[in-house]
Amino acid sequence: MSYVPDSVINFLQTPVSLLKLELVVLELPQVKPFYSAVGVRNSRKALIVKWHDQNGTVGYGECSCRPDPFYSHEFVDGAIQVISEYIYPLLAHSKTYDDVLKALSKIRGWNFTKAAVEMAMNDAIRRATGTGILEAWERPNLDKVPVGISMGLFKDESIMENTINEAISEGYHRLKFKISPSYAHPFVFRAIDECSHPNISFDANGSFGKDDFQKLSQFAHFGYVIEQPFAPGSHYLKEVYEFANPELSECLDEEVETLGQLIEYKEQISELNIKPGRVGGLFNTIEMIEYCLQNSIPAWIGGMFETGIGRAQNLQIASFLLNAKAHDQSPSSRYFTKDILVNTIEMENGFIHASYFLNPQIDENAFQELTVKSLSLES
């Protein structure tokens, strides 16, 4: 049994060819540092996979894991090693999209890494034929996607208030505040209390442990959804917490890497953040979204500070979620001083229009300029 519609299953028979894989590391300067419970980011080190097919078409995929293993076990240099030593050799006899998925499934975990390879292959197919797996997915979709902002931990009240006011005036459909036990400051509670936006949420990135229930309850008191309150693998703490506190309204992120995990937790969560990289690629994302739609689990697409390449794909996926109120897919200018698409992704009144995310073109000059390292895999 599959939750995936026949049109997508049939698409998996699409022929593929591979001449070489190119792995390129880019470094995109950020507009400003971003603080969260998993650490600070000053620039975005991005791994781009280029799939060169035998007819000269090049497809692009993005591996959106962090440079360190603080969000998930994956990290950029590890991803490069896994692709070079294990994934590339497995691809040798792949003749169809399905063959590639089967080859990738031999690797346990490393979802962001496998997703980048699938995305690059799919992009090559789409550029050559006009139809990729998302075009083959026969579901209605939106021509503009509502966007939410994910805001880092703030150093003081005035920066926090300015950022909130700016986000509201730019039309963001959701304000998401990063939180952590060490962030339970009076100024934070005051600013959140005074914030009038109708859609507010929190993201703890797994930072609350069993000794932090009192601080967690101070945030939970607002009644907003809390994303990943406990560390992945510690979901039992929800029940322990609720033994002495009101029920938590929970969204999962880090904890859900497979459909099996979603099925395990679905009764206990109020919504799901789906990151195409985290769940291991496009096919798995389609399957998870289908499962959510068929089981009325509210879901939206999360971000990992992707470059334009990964973001355009995330936005296209988000366009299939007709009822989602907002996706963590801010415009490029919120993150980077320079991005790598010809048509830099922009937001208008809190929406990103399809012209930015369907068929994105790479700005080769910017791509070159931001490259710090590259490696070619060819037999």
Q: Report the interface residues with Mg ion, using CB under 5 A.
A: 203, 227, 253
User: Which positions from 313 through 352 interact with ligand OSB, judged by CB under 6 A?
Assistant: 328, 330
Continuous segment of H or E residues that includes residue 170: helix 157-170
- Return the one option of Mg ion, ligand OSB, none that residue 328 interacts with (CB less than 5 to 8 A, by type): ligand OSB
The window from 118-126, 164-172, 303-311, 338-346 that contacts ligand OSB (CB under 6 A) reads: 303-311
How far is it, in rounded angstroms, from Cα 29 to Cα 24?
16
- Return the one option of ligand OSB, Mg ion, none that residue 303 interacts with (CB less than 5 to 8 A, by type): ligand OSB
The window from 302-310, 318-326, 336-344, 362-370 that contacts ligand OSB (CB under 6 A) reads: 302-310
Which position among 71, 75, 110, 183 is part of the footprint of ligand OSB (CB under 6 A)? Answer: 71
How far is it, in rounded angstroms, from Cα 133 to Cα 126?
8
Report whether 352 contacts 315 (CB < 8 A): yes
User: Which is closer to ligand OSB, CB of 302 or CB of 360?
Assistant: 302
User: Which is closer to ligand OSB, CB of 4 or CB of 252?
Assistant: 252
Please state the closest distance from residue 270 (CB atom) to ligand OSB, in A: 16
Report whether 285 contacts 279 (CB < 8 A): yes
CB atoms within 10 A of CB 108: 6
The window from 134-142, 186-194, 297-305, 361-369 that contacts ligand OSB (CB under 6 A) reads: 297-305
Nearest residue relative to ligand OSB (C-beta): 303
- Return the one option of ligand OSB, Mg ion, none that residue 94 interacts with (CB less than 5 to 8 A, by type): none
Please state the closest distance from residue 339 (CB atom) to ligand OSB, in A: 13
Q: Return the residue matching tokens 């300067």.
A: 29
57 burial type by CB count under 10 A (0-12 exposed, 13-18 middle, 19+ buried): middle
Edge-to-edge strands, sheet with 250-252: 148-151, 174-178, 200-203, 225-227, 250-252, 271-274, 299-301
Both structure tokens of 98? 């399905």
User: Which is closer to ligand OSB, CB of 94 or CB of 307?
Assistant: 307
Confirm or reject binding of residue 304 to ligand OSB (CB under 6 A): yes
Please state the closest distance from residue 345 (CB atom) to ligand OSB, in A: 12
The window from 167-175, 239-247, 298-306, 317-325 that contacts ligand OSB (CB under 6 A) reads: 298-306
Integer angstrom CA distances of residue 138 from 9, 11, 135, 268, 319: 11, 11, 7, 30, 12
Confirm or reject binding of residue 302 to ligand OSB (CB under 6 A): yes
- Tell me the HSE value of 318 on the side-chain side, using a 13 A CA sphere: 31
Please state the closest distance from residue 202 (CB atom) to ligand OSB, in A: 11
Which SS3 state, helix, strand or coil, does residue 77 take?
A: helix
User: Which is closer to ligand OSB, CB of 119 or CB of 304?
Assistant: 304
How far is it, in rounded angstroms, from Cα 85 to Cα 351?
41
How far is it, in rounded angstroms, from Cα 63 to Cα 49?
7
Which SS3 state, helix, strand or coil, does residue 123 take?
A: helix
User: Which is closer to ligand OSB, CB of 167 or CB of 282?
Assistant: 167
Binding letters toward ligand OSB, positions 14-33, x by CB under 6 A: --------------------
Please state the closest distance from residue 149 (CB atom) to Mg ion, in A: 13
User: Which is closer to ligand OSB, CB of 4 or CB of 79?
Assistant: 79
Which position among 113, 205, 284, 316 is part of the footprint of ligand OSB (CB under 6 A)? Answer: 205
DSSP secondary structure of 294-359: HTT--EEE--S---HHHHHHHHHHHTT-TT-S-BS---HHHHBSS-SBSS----BTTEEEHHHHSS
Report whether 226 contacts 200 (CB < 8 A): no
- Return the one option of Mg ion, ligand OSB, none that residue 305 interacts with (CB less than 5 to 8 A, by type): ligand OSB
Confirm or reject binding of residue 305 to ligand OSB (CB under 6 A): yes
Both structure tokens of 371? 């490259």
List residues binding ligand OSB (CB under 6 A). 71, 150, 203, 205, 253, 302-305, 328, 330
